[in-house]
Amino acid sequence: MKIISWSGQGAFVSSVLAVLGYRADLLPFRLAFLLFLLALLLCVVVVILGLCSLVIDLVKKRPLGMDYLLLVVICSIGPGVTLFSVGLDGIKAPMIHDITSDTVNPPVFLFTQEEQGFRENSLVYGADEFSAEQLSGLQLSGYPDIRTMTVKLPARVVYQKALFVASFLGWEISAQDVLIFHFEAQATTAMFGFVDDIVVRITPLGEDSTAIDIRSVSRLGTSDFSANAKRIRLFFDKLGEELIIR
């Protein structure tokens, strides 16, 4: 049973070191992420074995091993936080990292450059693992609800509200052009501190009608575990609320 205890402690420490090591630029992305995943898997195994040990103690009416109970609790933290953050939808998400409300004519990054910050993925739509047509098909299959948002309001009003919502959500506005109702931003994930690039395009459809499109791209990784889709949904939800109460 000591092996289980040592394995659990090692797995928990490894998961923490993987996150801190990446955020402190001490570990490369792929090594840190692989170490984190392996540590999570080991934590899950330790939790299962620990629970089995506790159940045996209960069945045989022996005093519960408080050390194993504590170990189960500690080893549950990493998998629990990850599952809560990613969710079941994230686990089942398509293996893509570039999500947009307009897959036919995706918003283009005009100011953000690929040389800015460390990245593995391109800012050009369909320039990575999948072509633009393949990427569009995968997104429409996985996130059919993410579409262009249309409102009966002037583009100028919508643009100002969109900037406000982006700031409210904690995005860092890096560039904006009020003449074309366009702005770009970066969002940082909570755990690893991954940076994702965002572009928002506001298109006037008339004096009192406007289309809002957004695109969110992960700089690292093949799959975003639905992080970009969740970000776009949240942005549209908050923007809709702001436009109603304006």
Residues 159 and 236 in one domain: yes
Residues 39 and 14 in one domain: yes
Give the model confidence (pLDDT) of 157-167 as tens digits: 999 999 999 99
Residues 126 and 176 in one domain: yes
Residues 69 and 103 in one domain: no
Give the model confidence (pLDDT) of 97-132 as tens digits: 999 999 999 999 999 998 877 889 999 999 998 999
Provide the pLDDT confidence category of residue 64 given band limits of 50, 70 and 90.
low
Which of 72, 91, 110 is at the close of a domain?
91
Give the model confidence (pLDDT) of 167-199 as tens digits: 999 999 999 999 999 999 999 988 888 899 999
Domain count, the chain: 2
Which of 91, 119, 143 is at the close of a domain?
91
Residues 159 and 86 in one domain: no
Residues 110 and 191 in one domain: yes
CA-CA-CA-CA torsion sign (233, 220, 97, 135): positive
Residues 78 and 155 in one domain: no
Query: What's 229's domain CATH number?
Result: 3.30.530.50
Range of the domain at 50: 2-91
Residues 76 and 22 in one domain: yes
The radius of gyration computed from the CA coordinates of the chain, to the nearest angstrom, equals: 22
Residues 199 and 103 in one domain: yes
Residues 105 and 81 in one domain: no
Residues 119 and 155 in one domain: yes
Which of 76, 91, 106 is at the close of a domain?
91
Residues 52 and 170 in one domain: no
- Residue 86 pLDDT: 79
